[in-house]
Amino acid sequence: QERLVESGGGSVQPGGSLRLSCVYSDFTFKYYAIGWFRQAPGKEREGVSCINSNDGSDGQTSYADSVKGRFTISRDTAKNTVYLQMNNLKPEDTGIYYCAADPVCWNGEFDYWGQGTQVTVSS
């Protein structure tokens, strides 16, 4: 059973929007940070955004400079889900988007990963 499952990817035109969802089946991930990463063809995986747990870290969020002002990460603890709202999408946002879990954002390699969802931005 996958512990993290992404959904919501698809194909959109530049300027469009998508909302990605990351559902975690392990209730302990409620106390974990959840990060979003992406990997474009021929490029290394990069961190996009991260949200800490609401316990202790007050749900702090962070974003890569390339997505600030366009992407918003949020968490619905009742649904065991973390969302990534992506607005004003650009062709360079194209890639496979993964969510991952770790005790704290950006504290080394994330421990648990989903299978990814494809996002394609093209006219």
Model confidence band, residue 26 (pLDDT cutoffs 50, 70, 90) = confident
Q: Three-state DSSP class for 111?
A: coil
Residues 49/35, Cβ–Cβ less than 8 Å: yes
The predicted model gives 33-45 an average pLDDT of 96
CA distance 61 to 63: 7
pLDDT of residue 6: 97
Average pLDDT over residues 1-19: 95
Short-list 121, 118, 122, CA closest to 20: 118
Res 11 pLDDT > 90: yes
User: How large is the average pLDDT for residues 102-113?
Assistant: 90
Could you read off the pLDDT of 48-106 as tens digits, one per residue? Answer: 999 998 776 678 999 999 999 999 999 999 999 999 999 999 999 999 999 999 998 98
Q: Is 105 within 8 Å of 37 (Cβ atoms)?
A: no
Nearest to 64 by CA among 89, 36, 41: 36
Q: What is the mean pLDDT of the chain?
A: 94
Quote the Cα angle for 77-82-87, to 5°. Answer: 135
Distance from C-alpha of 76 to C-alpha of 78, rounded to nearest angstrom: 5
Tokens describing residue 5 = 């499952």
The average pLDDT across 13-36 equals 95
Percentage of the chain with pLDDT > 70? 98
